[in-house]
């Protein structure tokens, strides 16, 4: 196999050893649900503007399409509680009531708001992981799925950058996955928190991973299809100013 396949990223190129292969990589699409992106969904009822979240949809869908073409596993997460609230702690019930959502269907499984937005069509073989915590590894089978599939490298997209994306990425780093945040394929309702979350990835020389791609520099992550030589480069560093 050809050596030196990597993504130009900050604060160092990804992965550190240059051995980036589709079969060992997964794209995580975090919580792109109706309740977060709709004008009358949970996120909006919490007082946030979902427009920044909707704005990344074209980038996210292009990234998913490219990942599929390259043979990268795509995993979607959805956050929400059981419809009977059996998995909701007293503290979580209190927070829900404090937010004025007591008695509502916000973030409840089996409701329209819990579903992924219709712009995302889960393809056969792709995985959906349901969770109740911000961190997608918490009380789920995500780690088991990744280990069973031989995945060692994770690409992060979705919402929100500062909460569910960041929480999951930090846990992934602690589990020794090699992590990359696609910054123009994730978003938050708080611009400052979004920027801070991106910055926090890179502190201590990339303590949680690396960051690649900014919307102002490029419109899409350039993922390649399998090459004749057998190696599947995931992003073309010549087209990614990082």
Catalytic residue among 35, 131, 162, 221: 131
Beta bridge partners of 7: 14
31 in catalytic set: yes
Report how far residue 168's alpha carbon sits from residue 172's, in angstroms, rounded to the nearest whole number.
6
8 in catalytic set: no
Report how far residue 11's alpha carbon sits from residue 206's, in angstroms, rounded to the nearest whole number.
6
97 in catalytic set: no
Report how far residue 236's alpha carbon sits from residue 43's, in angstroms, rounded to the nearest whole number.
35
Catalytic residue among 8, 13, 31, 159: 31
Residue in this structure with the two tokens 């960051």, named with its chain if needed: 211
Instruction: List the strands of the sheet with 127-131, edge to edge.
Output: 127-131, 73-79, 25-30, 153-159, 178-187, 210-212
Cα–Cα distance list, 197 to 32, 139, 149, 202 (Å): 18, 23, 29, 9
Q: Which residues are catalytic?
A: 31, 131, 164
């Amino acid at each position: 196999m050809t050596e030196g396949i990597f993504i130009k990223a900050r604060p160092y190129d990804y992965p550190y050893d240059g051995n980036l292969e589709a079969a060992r990589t997964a794209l995580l699409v975090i919580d792109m649900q109706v309740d977060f992106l709709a004008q009358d969904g949970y996120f909006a009822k919490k007082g946030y503007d979902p427009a920044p979240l909707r704005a990344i949809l074209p980038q996210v869908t292009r990234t998913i399409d490219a990942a599929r073409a390259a043979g990268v596993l795509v995993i979607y997460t959805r956050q929400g509680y059981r419809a009977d609230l059996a998995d909701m702690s007293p503290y979580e019930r209190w927070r829900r009531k404090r937010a004025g959502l007591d008695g509502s269907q916000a973030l409840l499984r089996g409701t329209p708001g819990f579903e992924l937005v219709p712009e995302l069509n889960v393809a056969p073989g792709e995985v959906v992981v349901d969770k109740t915590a911000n961190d997608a590894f918490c009380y789920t089978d995500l780690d088991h799925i990744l280990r069973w599939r031989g995945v060692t490298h994770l690409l992060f997209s979705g919402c929100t950058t500062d909460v569910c994306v960041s929480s999951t990425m930090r846990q992934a780093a602690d589990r020794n996955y090699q992590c990359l945040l696609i910054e123009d394929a994730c978003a938050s309702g708080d611009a400052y928190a979004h920027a801070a979350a991106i910055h926090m990835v890179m502190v201590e020389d990339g303590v949680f991973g690396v960051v690649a791609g900014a919307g102002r520099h490029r419109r899409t992550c350039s993922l390649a299809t399998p090459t004749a030589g057998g190696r599947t480069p995931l992003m073309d560093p010549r087209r990614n100013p990082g």
